[in-house]
Structure 1
């Protein structure tokens, strides 16, 4: 938190530009503490959300085009990314919109997801639309963690506060991922049951 206060004192309104670029790297911790700074009156929460939202949007659009134009070459140079890319594409093919809206909250595949989407057959206009919505959902969520729970965070030592935040974020992400998997599982089972009943009906008619 002290580092962000120093940035605000040194750079004034330029802090929003810093937040913009930091969000392009999906820097949740910075955004949370910037939200806390807004809660204390150092920043404007709405301007922060706008800066962070567009930063996140830009970062993922760049990664999308990186995947679309150079994805194969990228995997050749960084083969460790392939597993995450394949998993992301698998989820994208099953639940395109849901995946785009939620992958920012998924640790493990989050950083490669926009690259993977670029390597898929999804058209760029559809990704841009849902990425815009997802970026601002992410911006509102993490900015307000710091803004709404600022008093709680301020009561604990800085290092301990960061640990608590990190712990809560990981718990939240696990819940989001768990719900996403449950929804996907329910849809898969429903689809299979529907196909089974349709097949059974065809057999009965014969």
Structure 2
């Protein structure tokens, strides 16, 4: 069973990483870094999947705000807590906003739509989004890579295939749980 899962991760893992990074993708990026350290993924391929997913996700949310302002999806995002603050921030400091938006967990989707509804030129957004996506990819891939190095120190130099999968699953679960707790905390602070 673990061999079949391992084969699926080797064949389709980078596609899953890419798709995971289109939305809130911290867990996917960290897992990609872990598996790159374990030589399950090629490091360059992992970077391209994480960068490409992050860039495309924000570009899609930007385009949704820019081209489909009256669409129910965009209207729902505009009704979410913190949206008016996002519009205010992107109006005051558009470059800083685009560069840092992706680091506020749970705010990336709303933030991309807000940027699309703002007056920031599309070309400027694309350039800033590319730089921000690259930095974000390096940071989260690096975190996963370091987790892979730490796991190797704890378990030993030669991680068995099933150990890689179990540790990777554990990292994914812990990262997802931490992100969910952070999002819940942020949402409670925004309401209160």
Q: TM range, normalised to the smaller chain?
A: 0.7 to 0.9
Which residue does 1:132 correspond to in 2?
130
1:49 & 1:9 partners in 2: Cα distance?
Answer: 20
Which residue does 2:48 correspond to in 1?
50
Which residue does 1:37 correspond to in 2?
35
Residue 134 to residue 6, structure 1, CA distance change in 2 (3 Å):
farther
Higher percent of residues as helix:
1
Which residue does 1:115 correspond to in 2?
113
Which residue does 1:99 correspond to in 2?
97
Using the size of structure 1 for normalisation, the TM-score is: 0.68
Following TM superposition, by how much is the alpha carbon of 1:42 offset from its aligned partner in structure 2, in angstroms?
0.8
State the SS of the aligned residue for 1:104.
Answer: helix
Following TM superposition, by how much is the alpha carbon of 1:79 offset from its aligned partner in structure 2, in angstroms?
6.6
Contact 2:77 2:113 in 1 (8 A): no
Which residue does 1:18 correspond to in 2?
16
Following TM superposition, by how much is the alpha carbon of 1:83 offset from its aligned partner in structure 2, in angstroms?
3.5
Residue 57 to residue 90, structure 1, CA distance change in 2 (3 Å):
same
Following TM superposition, by how much is the alpha carbon of 1:34 offset from its aligned partner in structure 2, in angstroms?
1.8
**Displacement over 4 Å in runs of 4+:** 5-8, 153-173
Contact 1:23 1:56 in 2 (8 A): yes
1:135 & 1:129 partners in 2: Cα distance?
Answer: 10
State the SS of the aligned residue for 2:120.
Answer: coil
In structure 1, stretches of 5+ residues that fail to align are 174-206
Structure number with greater CO (CA < 8 Å, separation at least 6) is 2
2:74 & 2:60 partners in 1: Cα distance?
Answer: 19
Using the size of structure 2 for normalisation, the TM-score is: 0.73
Which residue does 1:60 correspond to in 2?
58
1:40 & 1:128 partners in 2: Cα distance?
Answer: 33
2:10 & 2:172 partners in 1: Cα distance?
Answer: 24
1:90 & 1:17 partners in 2: Cα distance?
Answer: 35
Residue by residue over 1:154-186, the C-alpha shift from the partner in whole angstroms, topping out at 9 and shown as x without a partner, is 64985875576468779999xxxxxxxxxxxxx
Which residue does 2:144 correspond to in 1?
146
Following TM superposition, by how much is the alpha carbon of 1:108 offset from its aligned partner in structure 2, in angstroms?
4.0
- Equivalent residue pairs, number: 172
Which residue does 1:197 correspond to in 2?
none
1:72 is aligned, of 60, 70, 73, to: 70
In structure 2, stretches of 5+ residues that fail to align are 156-165, 184-192
- Root-mean-square deviation (Å): 3.4
Residue 33 to residue 125, structure 1, CA distance change in 2 (3 Å):
same
